[in-house]
Structure 1
Amino acid sequence: MSISVIGANKRYGDFAALDDVSIDIPAGSLTSLLGPSGSGKSTLLRAIAGLDSLDSGTVVINGGNVTGLSPQKRDIGFVFQHYAAFKHLSVRDNVAFGLKIRKRPKPEIDKKVDELLEIVGLTGFQRRFPAQLSGGQRQRMALARALAVDPQVLLLDEPFGALDAKVREDLRKWLRRLHEDVNVTTVLVTHDQQEALDVSDRIAVLNKGRIEQVGAPDELYDRPANVFVASFLGSTVRVNGELVRPHDIRIGRNPELALPAADTSLDTGVIKARVVRVVNLGFETRVELVAATTGEEFHAQVTRGDANALNLSPGEDVFARATKVPELVAD
């Protein structure tokens, strides 16, 4: 089911949580609302759900104006960051809760719950209580509970934010597979750029209550609308005054080695820089540098193999060149 938000405004005193926001979310897509704290992404999600009323504007789901409808009448599944599980109920009863409220026949409930527990990988955990599950398992239970009532739309508000990095990574992969299986229109709120790039069909970048850009992940990464989008959607540094991504910087011990064999992209020219620090980050290495002529500090991210071949040490002089500069749409 498609979602459209048209001219949404929401203020809390002098603070504009949403400032004339409009967005179209295609049916069957997984769209991430990405932005820093206070950007308006959770307010927008809650407005779609009907949990927050708008000062003005319209919310349309599947062609119908739902702006004045209660959350219960919008046919939406909502998953919060902190699970909101019923602690006194088993996993099975948590997942079945919405179906029981709707007074579905017991055989239908049993069949649906069994199917969902298998989809989310919790078969065999039916009799456990939320306190007996890991954080990742509780979040999968919450997703199963939201999907049990066959919602038109699934809304996820920072669902993995309270989990550690490895669990978040595993759940991102799982969410992508789940979305492909159930194909329900999904909107994910996150402040994690990697998460948005990893799971989304489309990303909407918000800042100060407004949408800066909406598009496919590759589009936003390679052709950001402005400096904010470029800086927020991945690491950036300044080289010779140009905004570039650290992994697009080539390092060599002489100017020629800093130049790729064949390159037609925009670049910043070759500059001389001094190595300040070399940090191994697993499969890649961050080389912290300071430009010799301007004193500008920046860093490059190179492969572990390239770093070992260069055998860099703090205090050494090298040459650097950015081989690609993001093409800002506004320019």
Structure 2
Amino acid sequence: MTENAISVVGANKRYGSFTALDNVDFVVPTGSLTALLGPSGSGKSTLLRAIAGLDEPDTGSITINGRDVTRIPPQKRGIGFVFQHYAAFKHLSVRDNVAFGLKIRKKPKAEIKERVDNLLEVVGLAGFQNRYPNQLSGGQRQRMALARALAVDPEVLLLDEPFGALDAKVRDDLRTWLRRLHDTVHVTTVLVTHDQAEALDVADRIAVLNKGRVEQVGSPTEVYDQPANAFVMSFLGTVSSLNGILVRPHDIRVGLNPDMAVAVDDSAEAAGVTKATIDRIVVLGFEVRVELTSAVNGAPFTAQITRGDAEALNLAAGDTVYVRATRVPPIAGDAQTAPAQAVSLPS
């Protein structure tokens, strides 16, 4: 098997005047779980559909395990596909839904039974074989859909926002389950999502798309801590502009005087201290969001601190505090409007 299970080279796709894919080069390593992440209209679903064969790129090529599939129909690409909506056969039992692809391929009955029973065990639906889709919860129906996609032993598994129609708690549970499932079956998987937490939680690699282009590909840690540009940084989590410097709110320390303690791992570049006024304090469970206004330029920004720190500081709206960025992600080009340096304290 090739090192990269999927390779997309020079893919372009336009719908009238709208550019859905703009000269996209993209690879998916064998056995990885890669998330395509981006806002609506970024091209992530178009790229997934092109890999699946549901959309054909205007130009460019797509290979799966070294085989050029650019002009090959979906059913001959060796893929499993799971949509946001379950597309279950309502008149068929769970067992028959999962077995459908195997029956179409005329596999022996004994082989089908063994494969289906094993998969239902893997996805946590053992004992549900004889139920019908309307007797399952949303999360159970999506597990059934994943079992059906895996039944035909696909070369790659493509997931198009599979948990988007579920409520937050079920979605959180299922993405944890999906990661465990992937570690069990090891099938090369591409997941489309607009949920940053989902991508960071389950993926080995994240490709961030914007306006039909791939802005950055890397591990969750790489794209979060070393964003290629301001768009990637902003899309991978909340950001604050502290006097023209982009920082994460949780990387802003809040203190009652300019001589606040400096952590051992603080960099010299992030040692600047700024005076600010607290506008609002919002308790978010174990964290506290502090909304502030900079005394340097009058611009609003946000810091995220622990509840324990907030209580120790006894913060209140209207207080004057001092803040400093403990970490400033390196961003190439002119994304940072000012270098990370000490900021003079206003009087």
Structures share fold, TM-score greater than 0.5: yes
**Corresponding position of 1:263:** 266
Work out which of the residue numbers 298, 322, 326 in structure 2 matches 1:323: 326
Tell me the distance in 1 between the aligned counterparts of 2:268 and 2:262.
12
Task: Describe the SS at the equivalent of 1:24.
Answer: strand
Task: Describe the SS at the equivalent of 1:305.
Answer: helix
Render the CA deviation track for 1:54-110: whole Å, top value 9, x for unaligned. Answer: 111100011110001000000100000011111111111111111111111111111
TM-fit CA distance, 1:293: 2.9
The answer to whether the Cα contact below 8 Å between 1:43 and 1:52 also exists between their aligned partners in 2 is yes
**Corresponding position of 1:200:** 203
The answer to whether the Cα contact below 8 Å between 2:43 and 2:211 also exists between their aligned partners in 1 is yes
Change (3 A) 1:328 1:69: same
Task: Describe the SS at the equivalent of 1:308.
Answer: helix
Alignment of 1:206-285 (within 5 A): 206-257=209-260, 259-260=262-263, 263-264=266-267, 266-267=269-270, 269-285=272-288
**Corresponding position of 1:62:** 65
TM-fit CA distance, 1:262: 5.4
Amino acid across the alignment from 1:247: H
Task: Describe the SS at the equivalent of 1:94.
Answer: helix
Q: Cα RMSD over matched residues?
A: 1.2
Tell me the distance in 2 between the aligned counterparts of 1:292 and 1:330.
27
Change (3 A) 1:216 1:120: same
Tell me the distance in 2 between the aligned counterparts of 1:125 and 1:57.
44
TM-fit CA distance, 1:325: 0.5
Give aligned-pair identity as a percent.
71
**Corresponding position of 2:27:** 24
Tell me the distance in 1 between the aligned counterparts of 2:324 and 2:146.
46
**Corresponding position of 1:100:** 103
Work out which of the residue numbers 109, 112, 121 in structure 1 matches 2:112: 109
**Corresponding position of 2:40:** 37
User: Structure 2, unaligned stretches of length 5 or more?
Assistant: 335-347
Bigger mean CA offset, 164-173 vs 13-22: 164-173
**Corresponding position of 1:167:** 170
Change (3 A) 1:236 1:265: farther
Q: Following superposition, which runs of at least 4 residues in structure 1 exceed 6 angstroms of deviation?
A: none
- The question of 1:81 aligning with 2:84 is answered yes
Render the CA deviation track for 1:188-217: whole Å, top value 9, x for unaligned. Answer: 000111111111111110000000011111
Bigger mean CA offset, 150-159 vs 314-323: 314-323
Tell me the distance in 2 between the aligned counterparts of 1:222 and 1:89.
47
Amino acid across the alignment from 1:47: A
**Corresponding position of 2:298:** 295
The answer to whether the Cα contact below 8 Å between 2:86 and 2:142 also exists between their aligned partners in 1 is yes
The answer to whether the Cα contact below 8 Å between 2:243 and 2:296 also exists between their aligned partners in 1 is no
Tell me the distance in 2 between the aligned counterparts of 1:247 and 1:262.
15
Amino acid across the alignment from 1:75: G
The answer to whether the Cα contact below 8 Å between 2:225 and 2:329 also exists between their aligned partners in 1 is yes
Tell me the distance in 2 between the aligned counterparts of 1:11 and 1:49.
17
TM-fit CA distance, 1:258: 5.9
TM-fit CA distance, 1:319: 0.7
The answer to whether the Cα contact below 8 Å between 2:35 and 2:193 also exists between their aligned partners in 1 is yes
The number of aligned residues is 331
TM-fit CA distance, 1:329: 3.6
The answer to whether the Cα contact below 8 Å between 1:204 and 1:214 also exists between their aligned partners in 2 is yes
Bigger mean CA offset, 255-264 vs 5-14: 255-264
Bigger mean CA offset, 278-287 vs 240-249: 278-287
Tell me the distance in 2 between the aligned counterparts of 1:275 and 1:269.
18
Tell me the distance in 1 between the aligned counterparts of 2:263 and 2:243.
18
- The question of 1:49 aligning with 2:52 is answered yes
Alignment of 1:137-176 (within 5 A): 137-176=140-179
Tell me the distance in 2 between the aligned counterparts of 1:97 and 1:27.
27
Work out which of the residue numbers 9, 26, 29 in structure 1 matches 2:12: 9
User: Structure 1, unaligned stretches of length 5 or more?
Assistant: none
TM-fit CA distance, 1:259: 3.9
Task: Describe the SS at the equivalent of 2:206.
Answer: strand
Tell me the distance in 2 between the aligned counterparts of 1:265 and 1:86.
61
